[in-house]
Amino acid sequence: MRLAPWALLGLLPFFTGCPSNDLDSKYQQLTDTVVQDADQDHLGQAIDLLARGDEVGSRQVNERVLFDLNEWLAKEKEDPSWVADPLFARLPAEYAVPGQGQDLSELQFNLLDVGALREAIWLRDRATALARSARDEDHLRRTLGPDRVQWLNATEGRYGPDAADHLRFACLAFDWVVRNLPLDPPPAAAAPGVADEKTAFPRPGARYFAFENLLYGHADALERAKVFVRLLRQRSIDAVCLYPDEAPTGVAWPVAVVLRTKTPGAANSTLELFVFDTVLGLPIPAADANEPASDENDPEASRAAYPGIATLAEFVADGVPDKLAAAAGVEYPLSAEQRGRLVAWIDAPRSSLTQRMRLVERSLAGERRVRLTTTPSRLAKELRSMADAQASPSGAGPPIRDVRLWPAEYATLGFRIRLEQIRNEWQAARADGETLIQNRLEEQHDTDFAERLEVEQRLFHPASPLARGRVMHLRGRLDETLELPGARALYVESRPPARDIDELRTNQDLIDKRIRAGLLPKDRKDRLQFLEQLEFGKATATFWLGLLAYETGNYKVAADFFGDRLLKANEPEPDPQANQPGAPSARAEERWMAGARYNLARCYEAESYPAELPTADPAELQTRAANLLRQTTGPQERGNRLRAELLPLADPPGA
């Protein structure tokens, strides 16, 4: 059996669960020892094993899944209607992996396919949970706000019930992504003069695979977009990223949700695109057709005038992004001229284009059904037809000038292969005391990211309660059952008391005892790093317990986790009248502090929209939310300041 190069390079320890050089021999041992049964449901067993989640990513699970998939595939016939998607052939040669996988028709699964299946199951289950929430009017109102819900309900008469349901789901899915994946800053750039082909410095959106963003709980703007698009795919909703060819790298890549709308009495459906911005963490608001005229002497007159979501035409022509950004004291990163000449980028990772995944997808039914494939050329044809219809007789081109395959996933793979190679050379040079080689190699890769990734891979080992809890959370299994523990209990298990952690720093008898038992590193530096990771894991579990409470409507409990147990425990209490947050302590990363501050503001927002008589003044709650949002620093600062300006009951700054 020939495995993909990235499996052999050990790029997916979470999925493989064993050293890469053991994979061939382990797989052969498994195929030699498993009793063959002609009637065995190999595909069902593989899907059910991936869906359990209690031994997520373990070596034995992955080997067994891979074996079952290939045993099932060996008895399947080729699909005579399948053809390789022509857009794949247009992918630039720089994204090809030597020795692997340009043949999409190959009928042999590899470990990356196992990972893609697991990721799709996570996304399917999360999408199912979000779809249930979309039917809960109280959850919709508290999460999206009553004005946005009223606008969404009105779209049914304008675009048809199916399009309205899809747009409602898209709003909840986007909101989930923003709350659950705090925004990372853009990646570091290579030093001047370092050759690109010899370096491992990622492009935006190319540091993490989507399953890692879901598991580790953070993402940059393009990685957010990737997760959002794939959540939508599980509900058969198309989406594309929008970006002009000539724009500088690192600016906004808005996501356009593609809806096939049908107005009452119309014979055919038409495409309508609605724009969401993953940098701002907001849908692009659209000025409502019935909004009052803006009054410069009365700022409140236009504060609640943007409940809708901008279509592509409004995003390009109406200047709403620029007006709103200016109101919040920021500049929208894509100019009106750039918004008028966009490329639509379609996410389609290699596995989603293969014949083998299509065979799996068509063979699954009922609760096992999951979306595994996509047909980018079909969507591209629709988008080009729409662009042709929008072309102006005066010669002005449509806003979408081209449609291409989005190479983010392919770029991630190439970056991680180069990073693995350089990191292995660096570790060998360090072991040999080759300082000059070490220094040269450090200039050739993103050392900060490499070290963070190694910490995350250790922290989220497949057997850890934190990793298992996160997967249960993603899949909507919040409380334990007779068969499996729930996310809540596993998160609590990941939060040792502060006094216990302090004892491991100061109680020498306890330290010696733990060292003898193999539970603590002997080296003091390694021991301190271990304790830092323990505290980071605790902060992570605390943040996710807050998210879990928010999702179940326990906003006061969520506020306790975000406010008292994260912000107050790790930084000085911020002055509610000031616009500057306290300085974070070394006990938790700023990522969780920024995410906690944002989600605490969202808790106050949710409480300001009660189903019954409010127990607190809604205007006061929204003002508290706005002050928290204005205190935010970091990559989502502009979007949070803009969100604060859109809260209809909040006091303006300085009031």
Alpha-helical (H) ranges within 53-145 are 59-74, 86-89, 111-133, 137-144
E-state strands within 213-372: 238-243, 255-261, 270-277, 282-283, 285-286, 308-309, 342-347
For residue range 183-234, list pLDDT tens digits in order: 998 887 655 555 456 788 888 888 999 999 999 999 999 999 999 999 999 9
* Measured distance CA(311)–CA(242) in Å, rounded: 13
Residue 250: other Cβ atoms inside 10 A? 17
Tell me which of 9-13, 79-83, 257-261 is least confident. Answer: 9-13
pLDDT of residue 18: 43
Contact by Cβ (8 Å): 345, 405: yes
Contact by Cβ (8 Å): 628, 600: yes
How sure is the predictor about 139, in pLDDT bands with cuts at 50, 70 and 90? very high
Question: Whole-prediction pTM value?
Answer: 0.88
pLDDT of residue 9: 33
pLDDT of residue 220: 93
Q: Helices 618-630 and 590-607 meet at what angle, rounded to 10?
A: 160
pLDDT of residue 13: 45
3-state secondary structure of 276: strand
Here the tokens at position 174 are 């986007």
Here the tokens at position 343 are 């490329």
What number is the average pLDDT over the span 428-439? 91
Percentage of the chain with pLDDT > 90?
46
Residue 407 pLDDT greater than 80, yes or no = yes
Which is it for the CA torsion 362, 363, 369, 370, positive or negative?
negative
Residue 245 pLDDT greater than 90, yes or no = no
* Measured distance CA(56)–CA(35) in Å, rounded: 24
For residue range 19-42, list pLDDT tens digits in order: 333 434 444 444 444 445 555 799
Contact by Cβ (8 Å): 239, 376: no
pLDDT of residue 195: 47
Tell me which of 79-93, 299-313, 328-342, 633-647 is least confident. Answer: 299-313
Backbone φ/ψ region at 17: left (φ over 0), alpha (ψ -120 to 50), beta: left
For residue range 143-159, list pLDDT tens digits in order: 999 999 999 999 988 88
CA-CA distances (angstroms) from residue 94 to 91, 196, 198, 415?
Answer: 8, 12, 13, 11
Contacts of 351 (CB under 8 A, 6+ apart): 112, 113, 116, 357, 372
Residue 567 is given by DSSP the state: I
How sure is the predictor about 266, in pLDDT bands with cuts at 50, 70 and 90? low
CA angle 10, 349, 400 (to 5 degrees): 145
Mean pLDDT over each residue of the chain, to the nearest integer? 82
pLDDT of residue 1: 32
Contact by Cβ (8 Å): 143, 135: no
pLDDT of residue 578: 45
pLDDT of residue 523: 83
Residue 502 pLDDT greater than 90, yes or no = no
Residue 486 pLDDT greater than 50, yes or no = yes
E-state strands within 157-254: 238-243
Residue 396 pLDDT greater than 60, yes or no = no
User: Domains of the chain: which residue ranges?
Assistant: 495-646
Residue 528: other Cβ atoms inside 10 A? 12
pLDDT of residue 397: 59
* Measured distance CA(574)–CA(600) in Å, rounded: 13
Q: Which residue has the higher pLDDT, 634 or 29?
A: 634
Residue 628 pLDDT greater than 50, yes or no = yes
Residue 46 pLDDT greater than 70, yes or no = yes
pLDDT of residue 107: 93
What number is the average pLDDT over the span 62-86? 93
pLDDT of residue 131: 96
Residue 242 pLDDT greater than 50, yes or no = yes
Tell me which of 50-64, 217-231, 297-311, 381-395 is least confident. Answer: 297-311
How sure is the predictor about 654, in pLDDT bands with cuts at 50, 70 and 90? low
* Measured distance CA(150)–CA(146) in Å, rounded: 6
Residue 405 pLDDT greater than 90, yes or no = yes
Contact by Cβ (8 Å): 338, 247: yes
How sure is the predictor about 163, in pLDDT bands with cuts at 50, 70 and 90? very high
Own/partner pairs, 215-218, CB within 8 angstroms, 24+ separation: 215/14, 215/460, 215/467, 215/470, 215/471, 216/456, 216/460, 217/180, 217/181, 217/182, 217/470, 217/540, 217/543, 217/544, 218/181, 218/182, 218/183, 218/184, 218/591, 218/595
- Tally of CA atoms within 13 A in the half-sphere of 234 that contains its CB: 25
For residue range 528-567, list pLDDT tens digits in order: 888 888 888 999 999 999 999 999 999 999 999 999 999 9
How sure is the predictor about 577, in pLDDT bands with cuts at 50, 70 and 90? very low
pLDDT of residue 292: 37
How many residues are recorded in the chain? Answer: 655
* Measured distance CA(11)–CA(13) in Å, rounded: 6
